[in-house]
């Protein structure tokens, strides 16, 4: 019976293991952590609610297997479409009509950028960014003849910074040439209010029941097929030597970037170049919980907070945030009547991610980390409707922030993206997706996913499924043809 080693027990590794077991392979799943799931992981807040440290969203609703799994497991999801609040640089909440107008312009330009990138990718300079496109398009939509045109343009430009929270890097660095690779599956983006916990349990079940799982086992070298015996040898930090007929490596792109020397013989130049070329984001998040959702509107309240909301270029927190980084957050309390906690979820990326995770790394205790986070975010949550520092309902009960940038097994970051200077982004993805089957080394993970699912949980799941089917076909165990994603 062919023996396959699957390195990494995230969604890609778990789904690949499932497919291989279905086709009669002996599978050893090698995981560096003491748990399954990789970035799909939950933490419990003091309120008792669990929250996702990894993916929060299901990107697209048309033929999305993660949505199917959510339905199968009765995992609660919610739509936030059409809901948002924006605060200007003084902390004043912008009227809803203006939010709709400015946000509409921003998303119209994003749609136009997708169309432009799809149609003209071959002729767009690798040096052009999404920001360059905005600078050309905003004046067309807000001409000089428009009253207060400079202020209106400023709002749209600041709102456009929101794109960074989608890809984990700043809009200035987003490649326009390969912006089309950021398009997702058709349909809505749904927030998983019930967390990914039950979805993960279902995906992991075949591996738990049928595979040999080695926890807390970190791989540091992979020797691929040679002419002597055709066996792949996997070395671990603990000194183990494991032998396999095939190896599926689902390590994150960031890990691959840091460990291209972990392969013997070395990876081909084309594959090494592809790993180097594709960007790797640094999206982080912080949850702050309260006894009650004090910001929810009363029946007399005109201003509401909902959806993905932004506090633009804040000038009221200059001691802690002199760079005036935008603050983007999602209030969770109104998303689902039973699954949503009285919690604010802040997303941050780029230099702010590096700063916050850097500060957290210096702190020895959870208490000190909590104190830092609450002090950092207080200037922002204290501006929400009904906030009263003397009211116990407005006093945080706890918080939690991710530190993927400090996590070696996560590749010290989040997920793949496409940055300025990229010349052959689609070819690079296809090169990683192909892997080295002739040497028995297969790659899976969100960075090898179908183009419409790159950087997503769905993409990771699909990539593992595809590799499992390809290996089955190579051993004449497949069910007819195997889908090759393009």
Is the model's pLDDT at 481 over the cut of 90? Answer: no
- Give the CATH number of the domain where residue 448 resides: 3.50.50.60
> On the CB side of 416, how many CA atoms lie within 13 Å of its CA?
37
Answer yes or no: are the C-beta atoms of 424 and 277 closer than 8 Å.
Answer: yes
In a domain, 426, yes or no: yes
- Report the 10 Å Cβ neighbour count for 218: 14
Examine the domain organization and report whether 443 and 355 are in the same domain.
no
Examine the domain organization and report whether 173 and 253 are in the same domain.
no
Euclidean distance between CA atoms 329 and 306, whole angstroms: 9
Task: Pull the structure tokens for residue 51.
Answer: 């929250």
Task: Output DSSP code: residue 60.
Answer: -
Euclidean distance between CA atoms 361 and 405, whole angstroms: 10
Domain's final residue, options 357, 382, 410: 410
In the beta sheet, which residues pair with residue 235? 221, 241
Q: What is the mean pLDDT of residues 450-454?
A: 97
Examine the domain organization and report whether 292 and 272 are in the same domain.
no
In a domain, 405, yes or no: yes
Q: Which residue has the tokens 């029941």?
A: 209
In a domain, 482, yes or no: no
pLDDT attached to residue 84: 82
Is the model's pLDDT at 308 over the cut of 90? Answer: no
Examine the domain organization and report whether 150 and 250 are in the same domain.
no
Is the model's pLDDT at 227 over the cut of 90? Answer: no
Residue 317's φ and ψ, nearest 5 degrees, are: -135, 45
122: nearest Cα among 82, 177, 71: 177
SS3 (DSSP) at 419: strand
pLDDT attached to residue 33: 98
Domain's final residue, options 392, 410, 428: 410
**In 417-456, which ranges are continuous DSSP H helix?**
425-434
400: nearest Cα among 369, 362, 364, 355: 369
Query: What are the tens digits of pLDDT across the range 360-375?
Result: 999 999 999 999 999 9
CB contact burial 304-313 (16+ within 10 A = b; e otherwise): bbbbbbbbbb
Is the model's pLDDT at 463 over the cut of 70? Answer: yes
pLDDT attached to residue 106: 95
Largest Cα–Cα distance of the chain, in whole Å?
79
In a domain, 349, yes or no: yes
Euclidean distance between CA atoms 168 and 414, whole angstroms: 7
Task: Output DSSP code: residue 10.
Answer: S
Contacts of residue 314, defined as CB under 8 A and 6 or more positions apart, other chains included, come to 87, 89, 91, 321, 324, 325, 326, 327, 379, 380
Beta strands 189-191; 57-59: pairing state = antiparallel
Q: Which of 90-99, 298-307, 336-345 has the lowest mean pLDDT?
A: 298-307
Range of the domain at 286: 282-410
Examine the domain organization and report whether 303 and 364 are in the same domain.
yes
Q: Is 373 exposed, middle or buried (0-12, 13-18, 19+ CB in 10 A)?
A: buried
Task: Pull the structure tokens for residue 440.
Answer: 């028995």
Number of domains in the chain: 3
Examine the domain organization and report whether 359 and 292 are in the same domain.
yes
Q: What is the mean pLDDT of residues 214-243?
A: 91
pLDDT attached to residue 482: 42
In a domain, 365, yes or no: yes
H or E, element range at 374? helix 366-381
In a domain, 288, yes or no: yes
Give the CA distances from residue 462 to residues 213, 278, 299, in Å, rounded to whole numbers and listed in that order.
21, 19, 45
- Higher per-residue confidence, 350 vs 230: 350
Answer yes or no: are the C-beta atoms of 292 and 50 closer than 8 Å.
Answer: no
- Give the CATH number of the domain where residue 380 resides: 3.90.660
Examine the domain organization and report whether 316 and 245 are in the same domain.
no
Percent of all residues in the chain with a pLDDT value above 90, rounded to a whole number: 88
- Give the pLDDT band (50/70/90) at residue 297: confident
Examine the domain organization and report whether 343 and 292 are in the same domain.
yes
- Give the pLDDT band (50/70/90) at residue 299: low
- Give the pLDDT band (50/70/90) at residue 347: very high
Q: What is the average pLDDT score of the chain? A: 93
Is the model's pLDDT at 486 over the cut of 60? Answer: no
In the beta sheet, which residues pair with residue 129? 175
Is the model's pLDDT at 303 over the cut of 90? Answer: no
- Report the 10 Å Cβ neighbour count for 173: 19
Contacts of residue 281, defined as CB under 8 A and 6 or more positions apart, other chains included, come to 167, 168, 169, 349, 413, 414, 415, 416, 417, 455
Contacts of residue 385, defined as CB under 8 A and 6 or more positions apart, other chains included, come to 93, 294, 295, 297, 301, 303, 304, 305
Q: Which of 66-75, 296-305, 325-334, 467-476 has the lowest mean pLDDT?
A: 296-305
Query: What are the tens digits of pLDDT across the range 166-218?
Result: 999 999 999 999 999 999 999 999 999 999 999 999 999 999 999 999 999 99
Euclidean distance between CA atoms 217 and 239, whole angstroms: 10
Examine the domain organization and report whether 342 and 423 are in the same domain.
no
Euclidean distance between CA atoms 463 and 152, whole angstroms: 43
Is the model's pLDDT at 115 over the cut of 50? Answer: yes
Euclidean distance between CA atoms 401 and 286, whole angstroms: 4
Examine the domain organization and report whether 298 and 350 are in the same domain.
yes
Q: What is the mean pLDDT of residues 253-275?
A: 97
Domain's final residue, options 182, 212, 243: 182
The reported pTM is 0.95
Query: What are the tens digits of pLDDT across the range 126-171?
Result: 999 999 999 999 999 999 999 999 999 999 999 999 899 999 999 9
pLDDT attached to residue 369: 96
Task: Pull the structure tokens for residue 40.
Answer: 């799909």
Euclidean distance between CA atoms 229 and 210, whole angstroms: 27
Answer yes or no: are the C-beta atoms of 305 and 295 closer than 8 Å.
Answer: yes
- Report the 10 Å Cβ neighbour count for 317: 19
Q: Is 238 exposed, middle or buried (0-12, 13-18, 19+ CB in 10 A)?
A: exposed
In a domain, 54, yes or no: no
Examine the domain organization and report whether 297 and 354 are in the same domain.
yes
Examine the domain organization and report whether 390 and 296 are in the same domain.
yes
In a domain, 323, yes or no: yes
């Amino acid at each position: 019976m062919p023996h396959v080693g699957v390195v990494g027990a995230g969604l890609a590794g778990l789904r690949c293991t499932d497919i291989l077991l279905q086709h009669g392979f002996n599978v050893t799943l090698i995981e560096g952590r003491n748990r399954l799931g990789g970035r799909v992981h939950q933490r419990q807040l003091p309120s008792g609610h669990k929250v996702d440290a990894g993916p929060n969203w299901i990107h697209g609703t048309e033929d999305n297997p993660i949505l199917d799994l959510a339905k199968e497991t009765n995992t609660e999801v919610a739509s936030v479409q059409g809901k948002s609040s924006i605060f200007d640089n003084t902390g004043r909440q912008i009227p809803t009509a203006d939010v709709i107008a400015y946000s509409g312009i921003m998303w119209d330009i994003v749609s136009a950028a997708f169309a432009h990138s799809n149609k003209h990718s071959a002729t767009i300079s690798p040096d052009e960014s999404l920001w360059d496109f905005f600078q050309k398009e905003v004046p067309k939509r807000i001409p000089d003849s428009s009253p207060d045109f400079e202020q209106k343009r400023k709002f749209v430009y600041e709102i456009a910074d929101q794109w960074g929270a989608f890809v984990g890097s700043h809009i200035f660095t987003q490649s326009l040439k390969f912006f089309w690779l950021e398009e997702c599956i058709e349909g809505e983006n749904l927030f998983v209010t019930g967390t990914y916990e039950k979805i993960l349990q279902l995906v992991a079940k075949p591996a738990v029941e049928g595979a040999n799982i080695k926890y807390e086992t970190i791989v540091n070298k992979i020797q691929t097929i040679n002419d002597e015996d055709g066996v792949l040898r996997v070395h671990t930090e603990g000194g183990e030597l494991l032998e396999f007929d095939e190896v599926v490596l689902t390590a994150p792109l960031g890990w691959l970037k840091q460990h291209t020397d972990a392969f013997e013989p070395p990876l081909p130049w084309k594959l090494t170049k592809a790993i180097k070329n594709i960007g790797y984001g640094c999206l982080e998040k912080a949850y702050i919980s309260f006894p009650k959702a004090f910001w929810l509107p009363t029946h007399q309240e005109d201003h509401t907070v909902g959806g993905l909301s932004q506090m633009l270029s804040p000038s009221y927190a200059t001691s802690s945030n002199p760079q005036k980084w935008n603050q983007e957050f999602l209030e969770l309390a109104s998303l689902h009547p039973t699954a949503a906690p009285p919690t604010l979820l802040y997303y941050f990326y780029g230099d702010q991610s590096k700063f916050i995770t850097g500060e957290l790394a210096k702190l020895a205790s959870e208490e000190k980390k909590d104190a830092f986070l609450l002090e950092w975010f207080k200037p922002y949550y204290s501006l929400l409707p009904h906030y009263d520092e003397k009211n116990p309902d407005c006093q945080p009960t706890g918080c939690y922030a991710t530190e993927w940038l400090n996590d070696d097994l996560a590749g010290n970051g989040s997920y793949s993206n496409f940055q300025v200077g990229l010349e052959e982004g689609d070819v690079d993805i296809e090169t990683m997706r192909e892997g080295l089957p002739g040497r028995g080394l297969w790659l899976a993970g969100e960075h090898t996913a179908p183009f419409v699912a790159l950087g997503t949980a769905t993409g990771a799941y699909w990539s593992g499924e595809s590799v499992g089917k390809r290996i089955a076909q190579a051993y004449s165990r497949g069910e007819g043809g195997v889908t090759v994603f393009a």
